[in-house]
Amino acid sequence: MDAPDLPAGIMPDYRREIPAELLARQGSWVWHELVQPGVIRHLAADGSELLTVRILLPPNGLLSASTLRDLARWVREYALTGRRTSRQGFEFVGVRPAKLEKFLAELQAAGFPAGGTGNSLHQVKCCTSFIHCQNAAVDAPSIAQAITDYFYQDFLQQELPAPLKISIGGCPNQCGGGVEADIGILGLYDAVPEVDEARFLAANIDIGLLVSWCPTGAIRPRQTEKGTLVTIDVDRCVRCTSCVQVAPEGISLKKKSYVAIAAGGHGGNSCKGPEMAAIVFPRVPARPLDYSAIIDRIEVIINYWRRAGKPGERLAGFIERTGWSDFLATIGAGPLEELVDKRVPQTSIRRDLHFRY
């Protein structure tokens, strides 16, 4: 393919990562179908085909140098190229059909099973949390690990009514995308940040930066005889810890935390388009290494949908058809909690599905 390079200084040209055999068929694909869990066949206009194998990666897609070398070796031996998926899994693109069965067996033996396609549990997506983030309220990767282990068979089989995507955000900033998944786990802090007035004044904090850093407009400056302080609106604060990062000398947050479980989110553009999830279980304990309270509630949701959902019906569509009242009553949840504050329209406009106003 003769084409000019992408402008320098933006990012590497992706075409340099794709073998000529695959580039030659770029733009010619007309259909794809599921061969078996984790294996997708892509069909081109000229009748040629290509196989993709999707595997399960560790939570958050965290990979050691050793694992990266294994992935590279498998690409060289069995496929044309590889890619990380948007849900933190991995796909081998252009797998040679004659080597498919041997490849799948080798992946399984190495602990990287193929699956997560079609009507199955897809890779559980999560943020990095405590590994290298200062905002984390809960340990999202370990929760993702526990959920995946418990529902492992649903990753290997395509027997759910429709695809199931579970995402976990370790704090209210929701980098893990919990608000846009079929089932979302939202890490939350129990307390609102507290202002230590003496330390705040002594630190000579940039008030303008602090106020602008709050995603919900919960921080307001106030004048006192000693200088400018700030007030935190408890009703608007989502405990994202942004203010603590800007002014750690004068604002602190008690680290007691829990999770909320949301349902009915949808990030794709099919049906009615993207939809925000709604909190169905607002305060669920998140005790490290004992996430049974979270798993039990997720299982209730999945089992109801598995039992009564129609073929091809995502969880959001299922809830819409059955009605929120019946859905909440069946799963044993209380009144619905919205994720969006609609009291002040001019500050509630959302440009995307991130958890901010």
Same domain, 181 and 285: yes
* Portion of the chain with pLDDT greater than 70, in percent: 90
**Do the domain assignments include residue 119?**
no
Judge if 102 and 200 occupy the same domain.
Answer: no
Looking at the fold, whether 55 and 23 belong to one and the same domain comes out as yes
Bigger pLDDT: 232 vs 7: 232
Widest distance between CA atoms in the chain: 80
We report the CATH number of the domain holding residue 203 as 3.30.70.20
Percent of the chain with pLDDT over 90: 68
pLDDT score of 345: 32
Average pLDDT in the 263-289 region?
84
Q: Residue 327 has what pLDDT?
A: 94
pLDDT of residue 228: 93
Higher pLDDT, 149 or 8: 149
* pLDDT for the residue numbered 178: 85
Q: What is the pLDDT of residue 216?
A: 87
**End-of-domain residue from the set 252, 282, 298:** 252
| pLDDT greater than 80 at residue 317 | yes
What are 183-199's pLDDT values in tens digits? 999 999 988 999 999 99
Tell whether 309 is covered by a domain: yes
Q: Is residue 342 part of a domain?
A: no
User: Is 353's pLDDT higher than 60?
Assistant: no
CA angle 275, 277, 280 (to 5 degrees): 155
Is residue 74 a part of any domain in this protein?
yes
Q: Is 191 left (phi over 0), alpha (psi -120 to 50) or beta?
A: beta
Q: How many CB atoms are closer than 10 A to CB 157?
A: 14
pLDDT at 167 over 70: yes
> Does 209 lie in the same domain as 242?
yes
Of residues 278 and 300, the one with the higher pLDDT is 300
- Which of the 8 DSSP states describes residue 308? H
Amino acid at 159: E
Helices (H) and strands (E) in the chain, counts: 11, 14
225/2 Cα distance (integer angstroms): 70
pLDDT at residue 2, rounded to an integer: 55
**Domain CATH for 83:** 3.30.70.3340
User: What's the start-to-end Cα distance of the chain, in Å?
Assistant: 45
Name the residue range of residue 25's domain. Answer: 14-110
pTM (global) more than 0.85: yes
Total number of domains in the chain = 3
Domain check: are 39 and 81 in the same one? yes
Per-residue pLDDT, 357: 35
**Single-letter amino acid, residue 45:** A
The average pLDDT across 264-282 equals 81
Cβ–Cβ under 8 Å, residues 57 and 92:
no
Long-range pairs for 346-354 at CB < 8 Å and ≥24 separation? 347/216, 347/217, 353/177, 353/179, 353/180, 353/265, 353/267, 353/274, 353/276, 354/173, 354/174, 354/179
Same-domain pairing of 138 and 95: no
